[in-house]
Structure 1
Amino acid sequence: MFNVEKIRKDFPILQREVNGKALIYLDNAATSQTPQQVIDAIVDYYTHYNANIHRGVHTLSQEATDKYEAARLTVQKHFNAKEAHEIILTAGTTHGINLVAHGFASILTKGDEVLVSALEHHSNIVPWQMLCEKTGATLKVIPMNTDGELIMADYNQLLSEKTKLVFVNHISNALGTINPIEEIITKAHQVGAAVLVDGAQACPHIKADMQALDVDFYVVSAHKMCGPTGVGMLYGKEEWLNKLPPYQGGGEMIAEVSFEKTTYAGLPHKFEAGTPNICGGIAFGAAIDYMNTIGFEAIDKYEHELLEYATAELLKIENLKIFGTAKNKTSVISFNLEGIHPYDIGTLLDKMGIAVRTGHHCAQPIMSFFNIPGTVRASFAFYNTKAEVDALVSGVKTAQRMLA
């Protein structure tokens, strides 16, 4: 049985107050909160076996190495990668995207085309613009409709033998739209293009299966799924990772070094230069274990109930408009009140102890499409409650009265 009150006890921060009010945390699309089980894993590392990995013969180094590589295996199992060395532990989603973009700079040539969706976070736009500027390739955009859904007919027309790469998020951070990535991947492969999926917003809600998707690259951040900041995953098919050159040079990513020539280590170390975020990697594994004890099917069902309830209640507020009304979406609601700037609403909600995000959410093209400066975004996790939704609705009504 899904027991949200029991789950909430795992998160110490949910017990604190903000501005004299009980914290209601509805900014989960930016970063999720961290359960005690993950905090304990962090404390345990620094308390008992803090040492560098892969290099030392002493006991602490070997213990840290074993824990770190065990976390890699946890990530592999969770995302169902075929091989552990297809899991590159990164600093997060943005790091993973830039790693791939850097690699393709040596592959793309003038006249090649890359496709990116209109629903992307800046992290999945800017690196590809930089790549195109460097290589002479052309960036083309898969358009969206007013519901916040990609127009798949246009995607089909954009695909050609010139298409070398397709980039799309699994779920939009700004609107909550769940994209049809299975169809996108299949059709891209039919023209010989590789696909990178930004899974940052999907990983807390969906248990993505790398082999079933047949995706070429998939990137996530641990802090979106109850883990620490500064660590994440790049999954890449072995054949693609072997084609790409190293992203950074330094220790750990080498096989042999001389002043005449350096040879690189095999996967995954080829892409993991320098001392990694050891504690973060271990805690990432702990976070995945924690979420799996709750179960992603249970999480999905509960969050969908929250989404439907919150949507219905917010739409009862006069002059409130929701942006992102896709048929298939996750627990994110972006909205505005007519005639009121979203920043002002967010500021007043904070005074009531309610944390939401306001602005363009690093997705300015989406805001330009709707011709708005930004939105108020309430994003829900499995530890939120309907009572917190009620408090949000009440807070929005209060802000509307005060700002009218």
Structure 2
Amino acid sequence: MGTFNIANIREDFPILKRTVNGKPLVYFDNGATTQKPKQVIDAIVAYYADMNSNVHRGVHYLSQISTDAFEITRRKVQTFINARHEHEVIITKGTTESINIIATCYGRPFIGEGDEIIISAMEHHSNIVPWQMLCDEKGCVLRVIPMKENGELDIEAYRALFSERTKLVSFTYVSNALGTINPVKEMIDIAHTHEVPVLIDAAQAIQHMKVDVQALDVDFLAFSGHKMYGPTGVGVLYGKEELLNKMPPYQGGGDMIKEVTFAKTTYNELPFKFEAGTPNIEAGICLAHAIEYIETIGVEAIKAYEDELLAYATTQLAKIDGIRFIGTAEHKSSVISFVVDGIHPYDIGVILDKLGIAVRTGHHCAQPVMEQFAIPGTVRVSLAMYNTKEEVDTLIAGLERALGMLK
């Protein structure tokens, strides 16, 4: 693990050198997707230039080296999240597909009419809609952990939600709209006292902090490659071996079978049972390079730097007249959401864009959160390890200019 050197890190991200509207790019929309280091970009080019072939199918050389590279990613993920077995790592399209796999392959067989699923009030739509669809189909009931005004979940209310009909708990590790870090281990332990399995949406956690599935004793965990400096179109579903073995496949097709006849099909073993069809091979292979990049810098070093940057940005933004933070939990990751009295977030975002500053405005695919705070949306500043205090200062100056025009 090397020393955290922000200048060297920024040099690794080519897009940070570009301008937007004649201004140096300041990219604060990392909660939506992160930029890619040249190590990942070069790996993408190398795949198509040197080894492009389908995986798990061919006996020829290119297929074999592509398959080996694809399976290296599975082992990298296993080590990165400390899974017990590499076959507990399912390669998916992303967090959304991973959650849908559990809703379909665990929900349909094991959750029935009148059974209950617990989610939280701060979920991304990807961890709401699949469960609503299951409830519509099966007649089960969605129970929601309430959220306090500071953006923290009400843990005592969570304890009270469990009943003999509770069959699954699914909630986010870190809120994409608020930055709240939930007490994941405590919440998993509470569920396990009721013998209820837990799915964690780690899309906003995996790039910011150490995630250890064995230490957490989590049953399922989902995340996306593109939010951790990797390509789009690839993600991970981790599941405990015994649970994955109980579940039927998600899709039918190539690679998820052992034998097919017109009379009967027998399914493949883990992990291939859940990986039907040709995967996004390039993205799957290059996710390993993103993980290697993070490991070279060190997750703890990244967290320490981002925590310092978050504190600085919060302090500087608090000086702006009329600003109101949405989400003031004690434990937060690299997200700041705010509104300014009398001004629509969209208008702020448009002016900041003219100044080369990329932020996200709107409901952030978390409309129930906005409804609780009675707002149409927020301005979201989401930080990454390549952001700097100087960029925060540029944001502050841009906000002051924007508010001067809009008030």
TM-score, with length taken from structure 2: 0.99
Deviations 1:238-287 (CA, angstroms, capped at 9, x unpaired): 11111111110000000100111111000000000000011101111110
1:383 aligned onto 2:380:
no
Q: 1:160: Cα distance to partner?
A: 2.0
Letter in 1 for 2:401: T
Determine the structure 1 residue equivalent to 2:89: 87
**Pick aligned residue for 2:253 from 244, 250, 253:** 250
Letter in 2 for 1:202: A
What does residue range 197-216 of structure 1 map to in structure 2 within 5 Å?
A: 197-216=200-219
Alignment length, in residue pairs?
404
Output the CA distance in 2 between the equivalents of 1:295 and 1:239.
32
What does residue range 141-290 of structure 1 map to in structure 2 within 5 Å?
A: 141-290=144-293
Determine the structure 1 residue equivalent to 2:308: 305
Output the CA distance in 2 between the equivalents of 1:56 and 1:110.
45
Deviations 1:346-400 (CA, angstroms, capped at 9, x unpaired): 0000000000000000000000000000000001101000000001011111110
**8 Å contact 1:121–1:363 — kept in the other structure?**
yes
Letter in 2 for 1:200: A
**Pick aligned residue for 1:370 from 360, 370, 373:** 373
Q: 1:56: Cα distance to partner?
A: 0.5
What does residue range 16-95 of structure 1 map to in structure 2 within 5 Å?
A: 16-95=18-97
Q: 1:236: Cα distance to partner?
A: 0.4
SS at 1:106 equivalent = helix
SS at 2:273 equivalent = helix
Q: 1:50: Cα distance to partner?
A: 0.4
Deviations 1:157-181 (CA, angstroms, capped at 9, x unpaired): 0012211100110000000000011
Output the CA distance in 2 between the equivalents of 1:285 and 1:147.
37
Determine the structure 1 residue equivalent to 2:126: 123
| Runs of at least 4 residues off by over 4 Å | none
Between 99-108 and 4-13, the greater mean CA deviation after superposition: 99-108
Letter in 1 for 2:309: L
SS at 1:233 equivalent = strand
Between 11-20 and 160-169, the greater mean CA deviation after superposition: 160-169
Return 5+ residue gaps in structure 2 as ranges.
Answer: none
RMSD, aligned CA = 0.6
Determine the structure 1 residue equivalent to 2:135: 132
Output the CA distance in 2 between the equivalents of 1:201 and 1:109.
30
Determine the structure 2 residue equivalent to 1:328: 331
Output the CA distance in 2 between the equivalents of 1:207 and 1:35.
20
Q: 1:129: Cα distance to partner?
A: 0.6
Determine the structure 2 residue equivalent to 1:5: 7
Output the CA distance in 2 between the equivalents of 1:134 and 1:188.
24
TM-score, with length taken from structure 1: 0.99
Output the CA distance in 2 between the equivalents of 1:75 and 1:331.
23
Output the CA distance in 1 between the equivalents of 2:156 and 2:190.
12
Output the CA distance in 2 between the equivalents of 1:114 and 1:330.
26
Q: 1:137: Cα distance to partner?
A: 1.0
**8 Å contact 1:161–1:192 — kept in the other structure?**
no
SS at 1:389 equivalent = helix
Q: 1:89: Cα distance to partner?
A: 0.2
Return 5+ residue gaps in structure 1 as ranges.
Answer: none
How high is the sequence identity, in percent, across the aligned residues? 61
SS at 1:101 equivalent = helix
Q: 1:79: Cα distance to partner?
A: 0.5
1:14 aligned onto 2:21:
no
Deviations 1:36-88 (CA, angstroms, capped at 9, x unpaired): 00011111111111000111110000000000001110011101100010000
Determine the structure 1 residue equivalent to 2:343: 340
Output the CA distance in 2 between the equivalents of 1:193 and 1:167.
10
Output the CA distance in 2 between the equivalents of 1:145 and 1:392.
29
**8 Å contact 1:320–1:335 — kept in the other structure?**
yes
Q: 1:206: Cα distance to partner?
A: 1.3
